[in-house]
């Protein structure tokens, strides 16, 4: 028999997604509890993800800019990194962000409980309190927002060594002379550029024959060339076979572009695993795929009163999606709890979904790719602008970056965009809004961009394709 619920909603996990779900539901007048297992509060983005990594990247970019000063007519001595000062800066900023989040989570809008939760039945969860006692709570609806953990492959010898994951990097244990990076995805490439900027020698070991994951292949080509110019070495089509660690030194046995590699630090950046293993989900019939909770566009799982949001469920694990999924899950859960609506309306997926990597230069993808358009049978036109042929791009010294835009060849509607170049993630938001709102290339061009700016590159790319659109 279904027990009488003590809450309208229980949220499991207090990161970006869980907090968004709880505050949204509480704002709708619901009785909400959020259970978080970790101390301190803050979640991945604040404690070990976006914020500390981008703080380190900010310093790396400034170090690189100083080294590059002569190109801009400035004579300056070789910069020297103060590792302790940088570590203190990261600690201090993370502490500020954390305190802000903590004050939101303890403001009383929803009940915050500490403990590690798991389902004992479809409407019941159990969690251990700080005193070690087991407590049971019931709710009409649930949001699972338990995030993810670094995934480390079972490479012989690796487990017994002091290898790093991104969890270690954000504390900057030391500045390696030579860093080996396993994986050329988001974390591998951001960290390769981060440590190169700070002054380390960096070698990236990549399994495939290209880098930068699923990003547009042309972006991979530009980033590889830019990285190569700055001394980063790529060992492509290469497997790490085994690892030994002796006297503060890693010896890596490889198969592929090289047989071996010596380094004083090893970063394993081979993806993240959804944190769903200890939640009792199989027992209550929640469908998972490789550990990821399957959700629809309303964040509903295979059980209609249980929702999921963020890295434990998202096909693209990034913060803005974790937040919007949390809000959607919270809203839909409360509609169901209060009114019994199953036909809930809020949806999380957007046609302008964006992915941005903070390499140097930055890389971005928005909405549909040319390949996806082809698969959907849409004929597209592509417009392009190279920064080496664009006013502000030339001023910043960008030699290889570009932006590309695609539009429906029939009606000119903007469908997707990608690029790599100076601050391209920042400037791409104007395209994101245009794609989401279904703006046509012609209407976009009616908004002149300020000159000389980097954002003008997008305008020029749209103009490039608009010339080939049928005259209305
Ligand atoms: C190094 C790094 C850099 C990144 N940079 C960016 C970036 O620049 N931009 C971007 O958009 N994204 C970035 N990301 C991704 C981003 O950080 C995540 O997508 C986002 O933080 C996920 O939020 P979440 O709420 O789903 O998970 P989390 O923030 O991980 O929250 C999950 C919470 O659930 C808790 N929990 C787990 N199990 C239980 C349980 N059984 N009971 C109770 N509580 C539990 C955990 O303690 C955790 O606090 C980065 C990630 C990394 C690792
Ligand atoms: N700017 C951002 O938005 C940002 C920054 C950092 C991290 N993140 C998020 O964090 C997540 C995790 O990042 P990530 O770089 O760890 O994952 P990823 O999926 O982006 O890249 C993983 C890389 O590891 C390689 N790999 C996987 N298994 C391997 C194995 N056994 N041996 C060798 N190589 C292997 C893959 O080929 C790939 O190159 C990303 O999906 C991303 O959403 C986002």
Alpha carbon of 7 to ligand 1 centroid (Å) = 25
- The last residue of one of the domains, among 247, 270, 293, is 270
Alpha carbon of 192 to ligand 1 centroid (Å) = 21
Which ligand does the CA of 52 lie closest to?
A: 1
Distances, alpha carbon 48 to alpha carbons 43, 168, 282, in Å: 8, 8, 29
Non-local CB neighbours of 443 within 8 Å, separated by 6+ positions:
none
**Beta strands at 260-263 and 249-255: parallel, antiparallel or unpaired:** antiparallel
Task: Check residue 341 and give its pLDDT.
Answer: 65
The confidence band for 1, taking pLDDT boundaries of 50, 70 and 90, is very low
Q: Is 262 in the same domain as 295?
A: no
Please indicate, yes or no, if residue 265 is contained in any of the structural domains.
Answer: yes
**Interatomic CA distance for residues 463 and 448, integer angstroms:** 11
Residues flanking ligand 2, CB < 6 Å? 153, 182-188, 190, 207-208, 213, 269-272, 317-318, 356-358
Which ligand does the CA of 364 lie closest to?
A: 2
Task: Check residue 360 and give its pLDDT.
Answer: 97
Alpha carbon of 271 to ligand 2 centroid (Å) = 4
For ligand 2, pick from 266, 267, 270, 321 the residue to mutate: most ligand atoms within 8 Å of CB.
Answer: 270
Please indicate, yes or no, if residue 200 is contained in any of the structural domains.
Answer: yes
Please give the backbone phi and psi of residue 443, each rounded to the nearest 5 degrees, phi first: -70, -35
Give the burial class of 30: count Cβ atoms within 10 A of its Cβ; 0-12 exposed, 13-18 middle, 19 or more buried. buried
Average of per-residue pLDDT across 434-444: 96
CATH assignment at residue 171: 3.50.50.60
Q: Give the CA angle between residues 100, 102, 105 to the nearest 5°.
A: 115
148 is an annotated ligand-binding site residue: yes
Alpha carbon of 16 to ligand 1 centroid (Å) = 7
Instruction: Say how many Å lie between the first and final Cα of the chain, rounded.
Output: 64
Helices 83-105 and 16-27: crossing angle in degrees, nearest 10, is 30
Task: Check residue 359 and give its pLDDT.
Answer: 98
Q: Which residues are known to be catalytic?
A: 451
Q: Is 391 in the same domain as 345?
A: no
Please indicate, yes or no, if residue 355 is contained in any of the structural domains.
Answer: no
- The last residue of one of the domains, among 226, 253, 270, is 270
Render 220-233 in DSSP notation, one character per residue.
HHHHHHHHHHTT-E
The confidence band for 144, taking pLDDT boundaries of 50, 70 and 90, is very high
Which domain range does residue 17 map to? 7-41+106-148+273-350
Residue found under tokens 């300056």: 76
The mean pLDDT value of the chain amounts to 95
Centre a 10 Å sphere on the Cβ of residue 95 and count the other Cβ atoms it contains.
13
Q: Is 266 in the same domain as 280?
A: no
For ligand 2, pick from 186, 206, 254 the residue to mutate: most ligand atoms within 8 Å of CB.
Answer: 186
Please give the backbone phi and psi of residue 447, each rounded to the nearest 5 degrees, phi first: -105, 100
How many residues in the chain?
A: 472
DSSP state of 366: E
Q: Render pLDDT for 85-113 as a digit per residue (tens, 0 to 9).
A: 999 999 999 999 999 999 999 999 999 99
- The last residue of one of the domains, among 350, 384, 403, is 350
Please indicate, yes or no, if residue 59 is contained in any of the structural domains.
Answer: no
Q: Is 15 in the same domain as 112?
A: yes
Q: Is 261 in the same domain as 388?
A: no
Nearest-atom number in ligand 2 for the CA of 355 is 3
Both structure tokens of 449:
């961009």
Global ipTM: 0.98
Residues flanking ligand 1, CB < 6 Å? 12-18, 35-38, 43-45, 49-50, 53-54, 116-117, 145-147, 166, 187, 275, 279, 310-311, 317-320, 322, 358
Please indicate, yes or no, if residue 471 is contained in any of the structural domains.
Answer: no
271 is an annotated ligand-binding site residue: yes
Q: Render pLDDT for 223-258 as a digit per residue (tens, 0 to 9).
A: 999 999 999 999 999 999 999 999 999 999 999 999
Residue found under tokens 């664009």: 390
Give the burial class of 353: count Cβ atoms within 10 A of its Cβ; 0-12 exposed, 13-18 middle, 19 or more buried. buried
Task: Check residue 343 and give its pLDDT.
Answer: 59
C-alpha 95 chain-centroid distance: 21
In three-state form (DSSP H/G/I as H, E/B as E, the rest C), the secondary structure along 285-329 is: CCCEECCEECCCCCCECCCCCEEECHHHCCCCCCHHHHHHHHHHH
Decide if 310 contacts 145 (C-beta within 8 A).
yes
Distances, alpha carbon 384 to alpha carbons 83, 158, 233, 459, 460, in Å: 41, 44, 29, 10, 7
**Interatomic CA distance for residues 422 and 359, integer angstroms:** 10
8 is an annotated ligand-binding site residue: no
* Domain tally, the chain: 3
User: Is pLDDT at 262 greater than 60 in this prediction?
Assistant: yes
Which ligand does the CA of 215 lie closest to?
A: 2
**Interatomic CA distance for residues 391 and 345, integer angstroms:** 45
Q: Is 266 in the same domain as 278?
A: no
Decide if 232 contacts 266 (C-beta within 8 A).
no
Q: Is 290 in the same domain as 207?
A: no
Q: Is 259 in the same domain as 333?
A: no
Residue found under tokens 């694990």: 317
The confidence band for 193, taking pLDDT boundaries of 50, 70 and 90, is very high
Give the burial class of 38: count Cβ atoms within 10 A of its Cβ; 0-12 exposed, 13-18 middle, 19 or more buried. middle
Residue found under tokens 């070789």: 78
Helix (H) or strand (E) holding 246: strand 239-246
Nearest-atom number in ligand 1 for the CA of 35 is 43
183 is an annotated ligand-binding site residue: yes
Decide if 156 contacts 245 (C-beta within 8 A).
no
């Amino acid at each position: 028999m279904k027990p009488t619920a003590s809450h309208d909603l229980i949220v499991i996990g207090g990161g970006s997604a869980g907090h968004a779900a709880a505050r949204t539901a509480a704002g709708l007048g619901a009785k909400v509890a959020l259970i978080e297992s970790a101390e301190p509060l803050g979640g991945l983005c604040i404690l070990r993800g976006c914020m500390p990594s981008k703080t380190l990247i900010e310093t790396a970019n400034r170090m690189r800019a100083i080294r590059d000063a002569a190109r801009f007519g400035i004579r300056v001595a070789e910069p020297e990194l103060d590792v302790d000062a940088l570590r203190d800066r990261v600690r201090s900023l993370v502490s500020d962000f954390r305190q802000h989040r903590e004050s939101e989570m303890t403001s009383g809008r929803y009940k915050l409980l500490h403990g590690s939760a798991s389902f004992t039945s479809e409407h019941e969860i159990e969690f251990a309190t700080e005193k070690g006692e087991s407590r049971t709570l019931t709710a009409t609806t649930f949001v699972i927002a338990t995030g993810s953990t670094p995934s480390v492959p079972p490479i012989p010898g690796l487990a017994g060594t002091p290898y790093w994951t991104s969890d270690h990097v954000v504390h900057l244990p030391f500045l390696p002379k030579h860093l080996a990076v396993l994986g050329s995805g988001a974390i591998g490439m951001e960290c390769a550029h981060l440590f190169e900027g700070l002054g380390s020698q960096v070698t990236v070991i990549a399994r495939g024959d290209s880098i930068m994951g699923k990003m547009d292949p042309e972006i991979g080509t530009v980033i590889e060339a830019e990285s190569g110019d700055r001394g980063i070495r790529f060992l492509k089509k290469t497997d790490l076979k085994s690892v030994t660690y002796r006297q503060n030194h890693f010896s890596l046995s490889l198969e592929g572009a090289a047989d071996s590699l010596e380094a004083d630090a090893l970063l394993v950046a081979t993806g993240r695993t959804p944190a769903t293993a200890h939640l009792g989900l199989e027992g209550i019939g929640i469908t998972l795929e490789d550990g990821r909770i399957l959700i629809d566009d309303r964040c509903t799982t295979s059980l209609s009163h249980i929702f999921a949001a963020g890295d434990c469920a998202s096909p693209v694990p990034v913060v803005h999606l974790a937040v919007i999924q949390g809000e959607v899950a919270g809203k839909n859960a409360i509609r169901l709890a209060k009114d019994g609506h199953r036909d809930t309306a809020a949806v999380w997926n957007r046609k302008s979904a964006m992915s941005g990597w903070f390499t140097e230069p930055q890389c971005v993808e928005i909405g549909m790719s040319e390949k996806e358009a082809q698969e959907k049978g849409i004929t597209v036109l592509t417009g392009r602008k190279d920064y080496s042929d664009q006013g502000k791009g030339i001023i910043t010294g960008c030699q290889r970056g570009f932006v590309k835009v695609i539009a429906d060849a029939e009606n000119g509607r903007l469908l997707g965009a990608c690029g790599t170049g100076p601050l391209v993630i920042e400037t791409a938001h104007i395209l994101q809004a245009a794609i989401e709102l279904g703006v046509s290339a012609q209407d976009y061009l009616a908004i002149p961009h300020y000159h000389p700016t980097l954002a003008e590159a997008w305008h020029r790319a749209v103009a490039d394709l608009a010339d080939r659109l049928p005259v209305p």
